[in-house]
Amino acid sequence: RTWLNFSRFPPFACEVFAKQLDAHPPQQQHGHWAQICSGNPINKIRGCDRYGCGHFGADRHGHKGKHAGVDVICADGATVYAPFSGQLSGPIRFFHNGNAIDDGVQIRGSGNCFFLTSLPLPSLPGYCVKLVCIHPIRYHGQIHRGQQLGRMLPMQKVFPGIISHIHVENCDHSDPTHLLRPAVPPFPQQDSHWATVCSGNPTNEIRGCDRYGCGYYGAPRRNGKGKHTGVDVICSDGATVYAPFSGELSGPIKFFHNGNAIDDGVQIRGSGFCVKLLCIHPIRYNGRISKGQILGKMLPMQRVFPGITSHIHIENCDRSDPTTNLERGKGQ
């Protein structure tokens, strides 16, 4: 198979081919970068505090220097994402003193689109950026736009009272501000009906009553001394579990705290919803997930409670009733 020079084709050729592929191209040439830090969907830039200001060109070194990047607000310990697809390199040492936040990584976009058609398409303007005060999951290899990049480091340990942030600096020291404004939030407002949670149960049917109890919200628990704070969606052992809505994963969630075969789960928070899904094993505990995407597998509930109606325990984080959200498409 021969690589052909495709430079004579018009600039939109790369974009056309990209739309035909499900996989990410090496560099997605969006006009705006993706969300960088969980909890900051619009890449809001740090204002001013007693340590200085976060905008590009702000005074540094007692007015003897200028800020060569921008400071994107990010809580200590928050998940950090790749703003665009590219090649990682690092580590990047900003302070050169080994303090608690002296870590980071560089991402360089490819600038070309290469496809399985063996046709290298015309050069597009690439990106190169350094993200500092984070600990990346790795320093080398390729990463895709929106993929988990790492974790925000404990900035408050080094600068108590500062607005914790990621220092984002273009490799050529140009201003990245206009690229940091997402065209749309990563999790747009979603309809109130959640997606199918378990394969084999397209309507999210709730467990009825068996010798272990009932699955509806508010059902008696602990011999009538407590109430069920979630609902039990029927799901066969080993079945595929899907995300009911788009959001941010966190976990693991341990419900029984005894390490039994079903003591696992995960939380999803996004677009006004926050829910815990228990008795499942997720494919991962952190990062973003889209509505309807595979979340994990149902655990072997029959091994722990023989004869029970196997189910996923679904509980809103505020312990409100999720039943109406689970009745997807009701009345349609």
Q: Give the residue range(s) of CATH 2.70.70.10 domains in the chain.
A: 48-112+124-180, 209-326
Q: In the CATH scheme, what is the homologous superfamily, with its name and number, of domain 209-326?
A: Glucose Permease (Domain IIA) (2.70.70.10)
Fold observed for domain 48-112+124-180: Glucose Permease (Domain IIA) (2.70.70)
Q: So what's the pLDDT on residue 65?
A: 87
Is the pLDDT at 86 greater than 80, yes or no?
yes
Give strand ranges (E) for 50-102: 52-53, 59-60, 65-66, 70-73, 79-81, 86-89
**What pLDDT was estimated at residue 328?**
57
In the structure, what pLDDT confidence band is assigned to residue 192 with cuts at 50, 70 and 90? low
305 neighbors 171 (Cβ within 8 angstroms): no
Q: Taking 70 as the threshold, does the pLDDT of residue 84 lie above it? A: yes
The two beta strands, 65-66 and 226-227, are: unpaired
3-state DSSP assignment of residue 13: helix
pLDDT of residue 186: 46
| Separation CA 230–CA 279 (nearest Å) | 13
Gap between the Cα atoms of 142 and 27, Å rounded: 10
Residue 126: what pLDDT?
A: 78
User: Is pLDDT of 183 > 60?
Assistant: no
> Which secondary-structure segment (H or E) carries 278?
strand 273-278
Q: Is the pLDDT of residue 248 over 60?
A: yes
For residue 134, how far is the Cα from the chain centroid? 16
Which amino acid would we find at residue 237? D
Q: Six-digit token pair at 17?
A: 């081919």
> Among candidates 72, 83, 71, which has minimal Cα distance to 107?
83
Question: Comparing 11-25, 202-216, 244-258, 262-276, which segment has the lowest mean pLDDT?
Answer: 11-25
